[in-house]
């Protein structure tokens, strides 16, 4: 009989999308998780040149060797042994995540995932018959999970844990000591450690703390050029692991998912790496002043508490409007001309929060914050 798979029917549209669908054109949008910058000109030129040079064909599944070597090299301070065989190009971080879960998850097994979360993680695990088991990253703990809490969730069917720092939606980062504790937990239970570090180049006050180089056997990195070079629409990313068996399995599967990544685009990313490697730092400086602006505005509003995040381009304030859910608050804000995402779109512990992406100009942030303040004051009766 005709119909649709249970796996397709079970997946729901994300709550982030829902707000976009309700929004008119004239709102100030804090909704979009993508940099409001264009890719480095050098990459655009290199892509055009590569196409003119005939790089319009399939590449090997793992991708352009020169680019993979360059990527491996960029991690040598943490893991000097990496080379091109440890990297497989993908068509985005989204694609990398799908591949990794397809490679690791068997039906009946479970994977520990952060919550609040990037909304793709859970469905990605479920697609392969696995159980998404969420660990809480709470405001009270600066959005970093405690090992005690992780211990309470694990059982003999847990095969992997995913960490995401800097985090979407909270902007949280970790210290080296927190990284070591989270690593030790994965080692103690012999779990795969999947680390989504797509925001690794958007870190403000200190150095990015990575899991790369920590444990060659279990660490699998998801990364992407969407945020690093403002190329969200290009769709290019990679998987990297020092575990050669894992790389062989994932590269094999990548063939069945996309055959390979985009030929000319790989030359463009290589050019960006070679000639515009400080580009993310320039974006980062701008994001940092926006972060300071939005946090100081939010923290001055009655009923709002906001951590000052160390990475990515999101703030995830606690917003107290008695009697209203975060979705209802977000809808009221939308009526007042501001689009943001309700915290509940990122999981139950996001309830009581809103996510603002500061991917708009400082002028618009100020305007959007004026409107937010007016709506919240009205709703709270301040």
Ligand X SMILES: Cc1ncc(COP(=O)(O)O)c(C=O)c1O
Binding site for ligand X (CB under 6 A): 33, 92-94, 118, 164, 168, 196, 198, 224, 226, 232, 237
Measured CA distances, 252 to 58, 95, 101, 153 (Å)? 15, 14, 14, 32
CB of 92 to ligand X, least distance (A): 3
Query: What is the rounded distance in angstroms from the CA atom of residue 356 to the CA atom of residue 340?
Result: 5
Cα 321 → chain centroid: 28
CB of 35 to ligand X, least distance (A): 11
In the complex with ligand X, the residue whose CB is nearer, 268 or 304, is 268
In the complex with ligand X, the residue whose CB is nearer, 33 or 145, is 33
Rounded (10°) angle between helices 93-104 and 244-258: 120
In the complex with ligand X, the residue whose CB is nearer, 160 or 304, is 160
In the complex with ligand X, the residue whose CB is nearer, 115 or 196, is 196
Query: What is the rounded distance in angstroms from the CA atom of residue 265 to the CA atom of residue 91?
Result: 10
CB of 104 to ligand X, least distance (A): 17
Report DSSP state, residue 136. Answer: E
CB of 232 to ligand X, least distance (A): 5
In the complex with ligand X, the residue whose CB is nearer, 33 or 336, is 33
Query: What is the rounded distance in angstroms from the CA atom of residue 367 to the CA atom of residue 212?
Result: 40
CB of 164 to ligand X, least distance (A): 5
Query: What is the rounded distance in angstroms from the CA atom of residue 170 to the CA atom of residue 249?
Result: 32
Query: What is the rounded distance in angstroms from the CA atom of residue 63 to the CA atom of residue 238?
Result: 10
Residues 6 or more apart whose CB falls under 8 angstroms from that of 211 comprise: 163, 179, 182, 183, 193, 195, 197, 219, 221
CB of 311 to ligand X, least distance (A): 11
In the complex with ligand X, the residue whose CB is nearer, 93 or 336, is 93
Q: Are 39 and 260 in contact (CB under 8 A)?
A: no
């Amino acid at each position: 009989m005709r119909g649709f798979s249970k796996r397709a029917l079970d997946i729901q549209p994300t709550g982030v999308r829902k707000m976009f669908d309700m929004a008119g054109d004239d709102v100030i949008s804090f909704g979009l998780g993508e940099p409001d910058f264009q890719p480095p000109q050098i990459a655009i030129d290199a892509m055009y040149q590569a196409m003119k040079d005939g790089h319009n064909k399939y590449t090997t599944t793992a991708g352009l060797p020169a680019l993979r070597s360059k990527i491996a090299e960029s991690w040598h301070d943490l893991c000097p042994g990496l080379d091109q065989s440890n990297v497989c190009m993908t068509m985005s971080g989204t694609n990398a995540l799908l591949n990794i879960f397809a490679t690791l998850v068997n039906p009946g097994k479970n994977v520990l995932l952060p919550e609040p979360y990037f909304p793709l993680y859970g469905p990605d695990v479920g697609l392969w018959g696995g159980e998404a088991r969420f660990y809480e990253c709470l405001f009270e703990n600066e959005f970093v999970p405690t090992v005690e809490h992780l211990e309470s969730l694990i059982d003999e069917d847990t095969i992997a844990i995913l960490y995401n720092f800097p985090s979407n939606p909270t902007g949280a980062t970790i210290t080296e000591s927190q990284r070591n504790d989270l690593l030790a937990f994965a080692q103690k239970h012999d779990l795969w450690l999947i680390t989504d570090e797509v925001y690794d180049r958007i870190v403000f006050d200190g150095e990015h703390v990575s899991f790369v180089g920590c444990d060659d056997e279990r660490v699998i990195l998801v990364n992407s050029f969407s945020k690093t070079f403002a190329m969200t629409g290009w769709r290019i990313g990679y998987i990297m692991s020092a575990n050669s068996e894992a790389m062989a399995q994932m590269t094999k599967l990548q063939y069945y998912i996309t055959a390979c990544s985009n030929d000319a685009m790989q030359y463009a990313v290589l050019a960006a790496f070679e000639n515009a490697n400080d580009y993310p730092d320039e974006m980062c400086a701008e994001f940092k002043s926006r972060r300071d602006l939005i946090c100081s505005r939010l923290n001055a509003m009655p009923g709002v508490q906001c951590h000052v995040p160390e990475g990515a381009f999101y703030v995830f304030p606690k917003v107290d409007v008695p009697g209203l859910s975060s979705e209802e608050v977000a809808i009221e804000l939308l009526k007042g001309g501001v689009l943001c995402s309700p915290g509940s779109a990122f999981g139950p512990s996001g309830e009581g929060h809103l996510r603002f992406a500061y991917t708009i100009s400082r002028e618009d942030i100020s305007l959007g914050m004026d409107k937010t303040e007016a709506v919240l004051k009205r709703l709270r009766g301040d």
